[in-house]
């Protein structure tokens, strides 16, 4: 499947989520928690901005250096807000959103196929720990790869190209975070799931391109588990196309 198929699949998931009351509630709850965690992190970063700046560089006495100090203060504030926003997103994603994503995926499976493959027979706490363990690499990997590419762009003349690659890499991994829900729930080996990602990069680029559109990306991120589940079911089980909206 190519880029166009990925674009259509994520859009189809969003539309199904918006017209299905239970998916709509879960998607909006996930969006609210991620936004609250991100805003809380940014607020804390700004609240302690002066303390961090004083540890890095005290305000100089020379009027010739004060302007440079103010510039450094603004840059530090921007970096702290960005870092705290990423950290807040990761915490919300790993601690809460992964549970909501699993619920959305299972409900989507029930809508499309008329049944749901139950999770493994294990205590609820152990199942939650399993979900978190699956989510950590899927959430941390895109951030790590994007940062490495971004640093590489600073150190090489090909900065704009590397910045584009960084954005695409983040989009691919965020797409995989959603298309991997069903295989992970069925406890497929991690290596096999990574191989499936490598074999469908075009699809995942298309699926993730929606995440690069300002404002709209918030909705697509909230309901992407629906589209990711549709993709997994279409590839492995040939869904019966019995999408019953309003359930």
Range with top average pLDDT, 161-170, 216-225, 234-243: 216-225
**Domain membership flag for residue 184:** yes
> What percent helix, strand, coil does the chain show, rounded to 5?
80, 0, 20
The answer to whether position 35 is within a domain reads: yes
- Give the least confident one: 52-61, 171-180, 232-241: 232-241
**pLDDT of 130 strictly over 80:** no
- Of 145-149, 160-164, 213-217, the range with the highest mean pLDDT is 213-217
Question: Could you give the CA distance from residue 54 to residue 69 in angstroms, rounded to a whole number?
Answer: 11
Could you tell me if 222 and 104 are in contact, meaning their C-beta atoms sit under 8 angstroms apart? no
Q: What is the pLDDT of residue 43?
A: 77
Distance CA 212, CA 13 (A): 17
Cβ proximity of 211 and 174 under 8 Å? yes
pLDDT > 70: what percent of the chain?
Answer: 62
The verdict on pTM exceeding 0.75 is: no
- Structure tokens, 242: 């019995």
| Structural domain span for residue 161 | 3-117+125-235
Most confident of 92-101, 113-122, 173-182: 173-182
Residue 129 confidence (pLDDT): 73
Tokens of 17: 């989520």
| Residue 245 falls inside a structural domain | no
Residue 243 lies in a domain: no
Q: Which residues make Cβ contacts (< 8 Å) with residue 222, sequence separation at least 6?
A: 17, 27, 28, 30, 31, 34
Q: How far is CA 43 from CA 58, 70, 81, in A?
A: 22, 20, 8
- Within a domain: residue 241? no
pLDDT at 246: 43
The whole-number pLDDT of residue 239 equals: 42
Residue 244 belongs to a domain: no
Provide the Cα torsion 147, 152, 153, 155; round to 10°: 130
Please write the tens of the pLDDT for every residue from 43-82.
777 777 677 667 766 766 676 677 777 777 777 777 666 6
Segment 29-42 mean pLDDT? 79
Tell whether 92 is covered by a domain.
yes
* Torsion angles phi and psi, residue 238, rounded to 5: 50, 70
Q: With the CA atoms of 150, 155, 160 and 163 taken in that order, what torsion angle do they form, in degrees rounded to the nearest 10? A: -10
Show Cβ contacts of residue 209 under 8 Å, excluding neighbours closer than 6 positions.
3, 6, 7, 171
**How high is the pLDDT of residue 88?**
65
pLDDT over 90 at 227, yes or no: yes
Q: What is the tally of structural domains in the chain?
A: 1
What percent of the chain shows pLDDT beyond 90?
17
Residue 237 has pLDDT above 90, yes or no: no
| Rounded distance between C-alpha atoms, residue 179 and residue 184, angstroms | 9
Phi-psi region of 8 (alpha: psi -120 to 50; beta: other; left: phi over 0): alpha
Largest CA distance in the chain: 73
Question: Rounded distance, CA 85 to CA 37, Å?
Answer: 8
User: Residue 225's pLDDT is what?
Assistant: 92
Does the residue 246 lie in any domain? no
Instruction: Pull the structure tokens for residue 162.
Output: 């590397």
Q: What mean pLDDT is predicted for residues 112-116? A: 79
């Amino acid at each position: 499947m190519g880029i166009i198929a990925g674009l259509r699949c994520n859009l189809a998931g969003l539309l199904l989520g918006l017209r299905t009351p239970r998916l709509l509630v879960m998607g909006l709850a996930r969006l609210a928690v991620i936004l609250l965690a991100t805003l809380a992190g940014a607020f804390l970063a700004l609240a302690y901005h002066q303390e961090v700046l004083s540890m890095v560089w005290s305000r100089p006495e020379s009027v010739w250096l004060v302007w440079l100090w103010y510039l450094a203060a603004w840059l530090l504030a921007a970096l702290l807000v960005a870092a705290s926003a990423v950290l807040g997103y990761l915490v919300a994603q790993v601690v809460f959103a992964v549970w909501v994503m699993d619920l959305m995926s299972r409900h989507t499976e029930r809508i499309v196929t008329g049944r749901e493959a139950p999770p493994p027979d294990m205590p609820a706490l152990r199942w939650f720990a399993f979900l978190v363990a699956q989510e950590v690499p899927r959430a941390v990997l895109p951030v790590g790869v994007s940062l490495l590419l971004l640093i590489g762009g600073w150190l090489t003349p090909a900065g704009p190209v590397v910045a584009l690659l960084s954005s695409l890499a983040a989009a691919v991994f965020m797409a995989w975070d959603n298309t991997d829900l069903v295989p992970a729930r069925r406890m497929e080996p991690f290596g096999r799931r990574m191989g499936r990602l490598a074999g469908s990069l075009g699809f995942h680029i298309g699926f993730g391109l929606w995440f690069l559109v300002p404002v709209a990306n918030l909705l697509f991120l909230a309901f992407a588990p629906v589209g990711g589940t549709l993709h997994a079911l279409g590839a492995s089980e040939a869904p019966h196309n019995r999408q019953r909206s309003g359930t």
